[in-house]
C-alpha cells in the first residue's frame, strides 16, 4: 500500500459534518401543506372593554400560595380586526379537539407547563422589575401576567387573535384590578405564526422569553428557534422553556428540540428542573441562552 499525507482530512471532516447536519435539518423543515401560516399583527385592545362582574372566573394556585385569576371560558365577543385567515368557528373547534395545527393552536386551554414555568419563577425568586418579557404561545397568558404583576413589560404572542382578544387580554384585566394605565403602558399583544412575529418585533430584544407546551410539532421547531435567537437579549437574556420531555405519538419534546439547537449551534441549553407526574408525564424546564461569539 502506498503512503500518502492526508492533508485534506480536516476539510473532509467538516464537509462530512455539514452534509450530516443538512440531512438532519431536513427533518425539522417538514412542511404540512394543510397548515395556514397567519401573518403576524399587533392587536390593540381597549382595556376597559371587559368588566369582572360580567364574567365567570376561577383561581389558579401556585407555589407559596401565590394565586392568579383566569376566565372559566373565553368571552363571547369578536375581535374587531379579525385576521383574514381566522374566520373559524371556535366554539365548534373547541368541542372537537385540543388543537388543530395551522388553524387553532390550543390557546383556549390552560396547559400544565404554564403552571410549571410560573412555579419555577416563584421558587427561584427571579427578579422581573423593569425587565422586558416575551411570552411565546401564551394562550391564557398566566406566566406573562405573573411577570407583569412583578414589574415587567410583557409582550404576549399567540397564534390566534381570538385567543388574545377573548381570553389573554381579559385575564390581564382581571389580574391587574382595573389598572388600565399600567396595562396599556406595559403590555403588547401580537397574533400570528411564529414565522412572521419578528416582522412586528423588528430588532426588539427581551431579558426573558417564556414559552410553555409549545414543542409538540416538530415542523414548527425552526420557527420557534429563530424567534428565540432573534429576540433574546445577547448578554444576560434567558429563555425558560417548559415542555414535556417527549410528546408521545407526535414526535416533539425537549430532547428533539435540543437536537435542532445542537445542529444550529447558536443557543446553549441546560435543564434546570425535572417534573415527574407518573411514568408517561415527564416534563422539564430548560434555560436557553445565546452562545457568546
Ligand X SMILES: C[S@@+](CC[C@H](N)C(=O)[O-])C[C@H]1O[C@@H](n2cnc3c(N)ncnc32)[C@H](O)[C@@H]1O
**Residue numbers at the binding site for ligand X (CB under 6 A):** 99, 105-107, 110-111, 113-114, 137-140, 158-159, 193-194, 212-214, 220, 223
CB 209, min distance to ligand X, A: 12
For ligand X, the closer of residues 159 and 237 by Cβ is 159
What the block records as the C-alpha cell of 60 is 389558579
- Which has the closest alpha carbon to 165: 35, 290, 99, 76? 76
For ligand X, the closer of residues 106 and 237 by Cβ is 106
Q: 126 and 208 in contact (C-beta within 8 Å)? A: yes
For ligand X, the closer of residues 66 and 178 by Cβ is 66
CB 231, min distance to ligand X, A: 14
For ligand X, the closer of residues 50 and 103 by Cβ is 103
d(CA 218, CA 257): 8
CB 222, min distance to ligand X, A: 10
Residue with the CB atom nearest ligand X in the bound state: 137
d(CA 86, CA 43): 14
Q: 248 and 293 in contact (C-beta within 8 Å)? A: no
For ligand X, the closer of residues 161 and 207 by Cβ is 161
CB 32, min distance to ligand X, A: 11
CB 252, min distance to ligand X, A: 11
For ligand X, the closer of residues 90 and 182 by Cβ is 90
DSSP states of 168-197 as a string?
IHHHHHHHTTT-HHHHHHHEEEEES-HHHH
d(CA 38, CA 234): 28
CB 254, min distance to ligand X, A: 14
**Chain-centroid distance, C-alpha 288:** 13
Helix ranges, the chain (H): 9-26, 90-96, 112-123, 142-149, 161-163, 169-175, 180-186, 194-201, 221-231, 254-264
- Which has the closest alpha carbon to 221: 85, 24, 84? 24
Amino acid at each position: 500500500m502506498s503512503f500518502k499525507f492526508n492533508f485534506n482530512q480536516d476539510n473532509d471532516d467538516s464537509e462530512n459534518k455539514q452534509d450530516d447536519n443538512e440531512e438532519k435539518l431536513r427533518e425539522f423543515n417538514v412542511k404540512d401543506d394543510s397548515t395556514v401560516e397567519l401573518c403576524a399583527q399587533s392587536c390593540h385592545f381597549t382595556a376597559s372593554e371587559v368588566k369582572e362582574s360580567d364574567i365567570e372566573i376561577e383561581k389558579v394556585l401556585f407555589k407559596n400560595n401565590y394565586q392568579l385569576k383566569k376566565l372559566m371560558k373565553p368571552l363571547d365577543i369578536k375581535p374587531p380586526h379579525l385576521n383574514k385567515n381566522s374566520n373559524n368557528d371556535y366554539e365548534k373547534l373547541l368541542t372537537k379537539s385540543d388543537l388543530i395545527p395551522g388553524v387553532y393552536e390550543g390557546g383556549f386551554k390552560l396547559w400544565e407547563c404554564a403552571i410549571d414555568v410560573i412555579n419555577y419563577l416563584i421558587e427561584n425568586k427571579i427578579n422581573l422589575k423593569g425587565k422586558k418579557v416575551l411570552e411565546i404561545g401564551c394562550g391564557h397568558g398566566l406566566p406573562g401576567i405573573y411577570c407583569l404583576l412583578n414589574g415587567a413589560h410583557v409582550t404576549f404572542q399567540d397564534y390566534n387573535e381570538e385567543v388574545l382578544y377573548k381570553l389573554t387580554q381579559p385575564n390581564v384585566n382581571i389580574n391587574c384590578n382595573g389598572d388600565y394605565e399600567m396595562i396599556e403602558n406595559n403590555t403588547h399583544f401580537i397574533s400570528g405564526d411564529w414565522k412572521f412575529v419578528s416582522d412586528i418585533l423588528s430588532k426588539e430584544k427581551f431579558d426573558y422569553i417564556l414559552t410553555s407546551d409549545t414543542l409538540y410539532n416538530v415542523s414548527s421547531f425552526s420557527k420557534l428557534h429563530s424567534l428565540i435567537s432573534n429576540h433574546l437579549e445577547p448578554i444576560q437574556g434567558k429563555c425558560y422553556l417548559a415542555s414535556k420531555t417527549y410528546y408521545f405519538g407526535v414526535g416533539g419534546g425537549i430532547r428533539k428540540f435540543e437536537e435542532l439547537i445542537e445542529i444550529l449551534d447558536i443557543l446553549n441549553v441546560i435543564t434546570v428542573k425535572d417534573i415527574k407526574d407518573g411514568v408517561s408525564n415527564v416534563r422539564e424546564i430548560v434555560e436557553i441562552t445565546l452562545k457568546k461569539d
